[in-house]
Amino acid sequence: MTTLRSGGCACGKVRYSVSGDPLRVGICHCTDCRRTSGSAFTFYGIWPLAAFRCEGETSRYKDRSFCPACGSHVFALNDTEAEIMAGTLDEAPSDLAPQYELWTPRREPWLQALHGADQFQGNR
């Protein structure tokens, strides 16, 4: 049986679903992710684009899609993959666990390296 996960923006005007398991799950501490999320890092999962479905109007900035009504950053799409912001999933907590951390030199000093996750000083 294929896992189906769903999520959406804060106001509910954008809804999406992804089917199957993610290709990979990560945390990123880069400047762009910090500014986009408004937090110390971004937690996300990557699925094949074919596994992604979306309803509702989105706007884009630098390949990142957000709800134009409430501003929630929900996903980023490219030609082959859908990057889902894990905090926008309906299930919380989820069964997703990061396999890697990106841009670790930008990690806040009060955060510890994620045990068992591969560590990268930049992109993978």
Average pLDDT estimate for 101-123? 96
pLDDT tens track for 34-71: 998 999 999 999 999 999 999 999 999 988 999 999 99
Model confidence pLDDT, tens digit, residues 76-103: 999 999 999 999 999 988 899 999 999 9
Q: In the numeric block, which tokens belong to residue 100?
A: 């890697």
> Does residue 83 contact residue 9 with C-beta atoms inside 8 Å?
no
pTM, two decimal places = 0.92
Spell out the domain ranges in the chain. Answer: 4-119
Nearest Cα to 115, choosing from 103, 95, 96, 97?
97
Sheet holding 64-66, edge to edge: 59-61, 64-66, 73-77, 81-85, 42-48, 24-28, 100-102, 118-119
CATH, domain range 4-119:
3.90.1590.10
**Rounded Cα distance, 75 and 65, in Å:** 5
Bridging pattern class, strands 64-66 and 73-77: antiparallel
